[in-house]
Each structure stands twice: as C-alpha cells, then as structure tokens.
Amino acid sequence: MTAQEEGSVTAGGAETAPEVIRAEHISKRFGAVQALKDVNLYVRRGEILGLIGDNGAGKSTLIKTLTGFHRPDQGRLLFNGTETALRSVVHARSLGIDTVFQDLAMINDLPVYLNLFLNRELTHRPLPVLRRSEMRRRAREALDSIGISIPSVDTEVGQLSGGQRQAIAVARSVYAESTQLLLLDEPLAAMGAKEGGQILRLLKRLKERRDIAIILIAHNYAQIVDICDRVNLLQHGEITLDRASQETSVSELLELVHAEYGVN
C-alpha cells in the first residue's frame, strides 16, 4: 500500500522537480578523524531522502555542514542551483534551511514556547522586547495542529519526556515559515510507536505539499523504506549507495551494512 503511494508521488514529479540542495565533493576533518570524504548528495523539492549509516559514519557532520554549523574543508554547496557558502546557522535559516539536531538543541531551563521560538523570538520591533503572549498563542496552535500533547506551553522543557522534547524540536523546524529544506537528524529515536507514527504522518503531509525537500536520518530501516523516496548509505564518511526506496528493501539495506563486517 505504501509502495503504491510513494510510487505515485515519485512518478508525479519528484524526479523531475528542481534540486533544492546539492553537495559536491564535500570533505570535513576533525583533527585525526576524516568525518566526511568527497561526499556528493542532492535532494529534490517534494522528495524525502533517507540517510543511513553506522554510528560515527558522519551523518550528523553532513547535516551540520548542510545547515551552516560546520564549514566544509573542501567541496561546495548548491542551494536552488546557486553556489552558496553558508556562513552560519542563522544564514542557512534565512535561506529556508531548517534543522532538527540530533541533540535537539533544547534549552531545559526555558519553557516550551520559548524553545519553539529559540533565537527567532517575536519582539516589538524596533524594540528587542519579547512578545510573550503572542509566542505562547502561536506555540499552542503549532503543537495542537501536530497533535503533540504536553501539559502547557509554559512547562520547562527539562521536565518533559525525551519523546515530547523530540516532538517539540520537530515542531520548531516544521513550523518555521518558508522552510525549503528540512534536515532531521534521528527525530524519531526516543519516540514511542504512537508519537513516532504522528511525526511520520506529519512528514508525509509535508511531502504531499511538494514545496519542501527533506533529509531524514534514522536507524530504523523500515521507517526509511516506508517514507523516503531515496536512500543514501554513508559509510566511514563516504556515500556508498544511492537508490530509490522502491528498488531496495529493509533486508537489502541490512545486508549492505553488514557486508562490511563480513556478517552473513
């Protein structure tokens, strides 16, 4: 059933839609660790790209390079076809690149609504004074529309469960205005089946809008095959596989990953 759904979406134009981001020959080194080696990758508008790989393969480093947190040592990024040097996370965001980081970038001592607006707080311009009630109202709306249940938007994030925190991190990026590229680094890791399903449905809805490109990192290959249009496998900083989800399966992906270690 899902395969059919995806088939129609892909056939419906994702393959011919323009590329939102293309990374060319990206390398990144941390001291002795070569985290990324000559990485090439692209995503089209309306497409979800699954990024898989072992722990330490370089997935988060790649995401952080695409969002302006890390500067690549080599290589270049094309954003909507134009070569772009991302100066900072804020710069990337201003272009429409939004990220759910693996560590969630949640501020435990701040309430939910301030986390949702972290570093993009609404203020009474030109004064830097916060518009707290407006932020509360919009936060409530955003969370309600995804169906995330939390006690109140005034709750300190530190008091929420891991899954709730993750849901809020996803909501923060999804509800940012004018997002063109959404990067999600293991957004489902701490979630129960129900909440994870909610987020997956949300991503499917976003995909149906066809105006956003998504890169999703997950260790659950079933989820990847289910929701993504394409899968890239990252091994030791190199992309070793780029395949349409329809042309692969959970068992093939597991085989490919395990082959490296000689597991039968």
Partner 1 sequence: MEAKQVATAVGRGLVRRRELSIFVVCVAAAIYFAVTGSGFTTSENYHTIAQYVAPWIIIGAGEVMLLICGQIDLSAGFVFTLAPFVLTSFTGDGMPLLLALVCAVAISALVGVVNGLIHTLFNLASFIVTLGMAFFLEGMSLIASNAQPEAAPANGWVAQVFGRARWSELIWALAIVAVMQALLSTTKFGVNTQAVGSNPIGAAEAGIRINRIKIVNFALCSGLAGLGGILDGIRVGSFDPTNGGNETMFLAVASAVIGGTALLGGSGTIIGALLGALLLGIVYDGFNLTGVNANAFDVVLGIAIIAAMLLNVYLGVLRRKASR
Ligand X SMILES: Nc1ncnc2c1ncn2[C@@H]1O[C@H](COP(=O)(O)OP(=O)(O)OP(=O)(O)O)[C@@H](O)[C@H]1O
Among 151, 162, 192, 197, binds partner 1 (CB under 8 A): 151
74 contact, one of Mg ion, partner 1, ligand X, none, CB 5-8 Å limit per kind: none
Identify which of 229, 194, 197, 195 has the alpha carbon closest to the alpha carbon of residue 214: 229
Verify binding: residue 150, partner 1, rule CB under 8 A.
no
Q: Quick one: which of 17, 78, 130, 241 contacts partner 1 (CB under 8 A)? A: 130
Judged by CB under 6 A, the residue of 27, 40, 84, 102 near ligand X is 102
Which of 16, 55, 119, 264 lies at the binding interface for partner 1 (CB under 8 A)? Answer: 119
Burial class (CB within 10 angstroms; exposed 0-12, middle 13-18, buried 19+) of 251: exposed
Rank residues 130 and 190 by Cβ distance to Mg ion and give the closer one. Answer: 190
CB 52 within 8 A of CB 220: no
Spatial separation of the C-alpha atoms in residues 164 and 167, rounded to whole Å: 5
Looking at 85, 129, 254, 259, which residue binds partner 1 (CB under 8 A)? 129
For β-strands 82-83 and 74-79, DSSP reports them as: antiparallel
Nearest approach, Cβ of 183 to ligand X (angstroms)? 12
For the bound state, the minimum distance from the C-beta of residue 62 to ligand X, rounded and expressed in Å, comes to: 7
Q: How far is the CB of 105 from partner 1 (least distance, A)?
A: 4
**Nearest-angstrom CA–CA distance, 24 and 46:** 21
Handedness of CA 62, 112, 48, 89 (dihedral sign): negative
Give me the residues that bind ligand X (CB under 6 A), please. 30, 33, 35, 53, 55-61, 102
